[in-house]
Each structure stands twice: as C-alpha cells, then as structure tokens.
C-alpha cells in the first residue's frame, strides 16, 4: 500500500516538474522569438557617430564585435550617470539581449532633413548669487 502511494506521489511530482519545464521552455521560446523579432533602429549623433535607438533610449557600440558577430551596445549616458543598461545585437542586427534598467530620463531626439539626430542633454549650470557674507577689509 505504501509503495503504491509513494509511486503515485512520485508520478505526480515528475508530472508537475515536467509540466513546469515545458512551460518554462515554451516561455523562453516565445520570449526568444519576441526578442529576435525586434530590429534595431539607427540614428546619427550631431558629430556623425552611428547610434542605436531602442524604446527612445540611445546606445553606443562597443569598439569591436565578438567572434560570432554579436555587437554590444552601452547606454549613451553610461559615462555621465553610470547607466547599467546594455543591449546586444546579432550579426543580422536583431536585438537578442537587453540587460539593466536606465537610471535617467529619455534623451532629446530631433527629426532633421538629414535624418534623426540625437543631442546630448546639457548639464544645468549653477549660478552663484553670493560667495560669502563676510566683507574683506583693505
């Protein structure tokens, strides 16, 4: 009796785990298909550099593609705000991976007759109204 009960529990355990792995596999396949179907849009900076635009955020390319043709793109605000967002494209320029969340607002993007241009947001300059309350006597 105990053996039958144990085998039923074991069967249910394996069935649940197999269903779980099939579900995870199917979700990964759907997610991979969704990610593969996303194509990149390229724009130019005001200095003429090629940039990648995805969800209205701008990415700069790493110097060299990898051996399998994958290119790594870092957020354009990586240097200023240490943004951790990184994007990877394959050799056919499809987005295959996105890592990190942006820690800054979306940049300014303008449409010009030559195409779409990205402009760096300027840092706000602070004006000094008064240096000190102390008077300097001669």
Residue 129: what pLDDT? 62
Measured distance CA(18)–CA(71) in Å, rounded: 35
Residue for token digits 């995870």?
Answer: 24
Across the range 120-124, mean pLDDT stands at: 58
Residue for token digits 């194509």?
Answer: 39
Measured distance CA(67)–CA(130) in Å, rounded: 58
> 116: which residues sit within 8 A by CB, 6+ positions away?
43, 44, 53, 109, 110
- What percent of the chain clears pLDDT 70, i.e. is strictly above it? 53
Residue 121, Cα to own-chain centre: how many angstroms? Answer: 19
Residues 8-40 have pLDDT tens digits of 544 454 444 444 444 444 444 444 444 445 666
Q: Domain map of the chain by residue range?
A: 1-37, 40-108
Across the range 112-126, mean pLDDT stands at: 62
Architecture of domain 40-108: Single Sheet (2.20)
């Amino acid at each position: 009796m105990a053996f039958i009960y144990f085998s039923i529990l074991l069967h249910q355990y394996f069935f649940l785990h197999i269903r779980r792995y099939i579900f995870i596999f199917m979700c990964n396949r759907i997610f991979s298909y969704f990610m593969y179907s996303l194509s990149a849009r390229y724009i130019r900076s005001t200095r003429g550099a090629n940039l990648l635009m995805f969800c209205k955020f701008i990415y700069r390319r790493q110097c060299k593609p990898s051996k399998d043709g994958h290119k790594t793109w870092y957020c354009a605000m990586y240097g200023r705000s240490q943004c951790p967002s990184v994007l990877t494209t394959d050799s056919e320029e499809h987005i295959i991976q996105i890592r990190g969340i942006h820690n800054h607002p979306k940049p300014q993007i303008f449409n010009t007759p030559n195409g779409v241009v990205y402009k760096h947001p300027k840092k706000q300059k602070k004006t000094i109204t008064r240096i000190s309350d102390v008077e300097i006597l001669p």
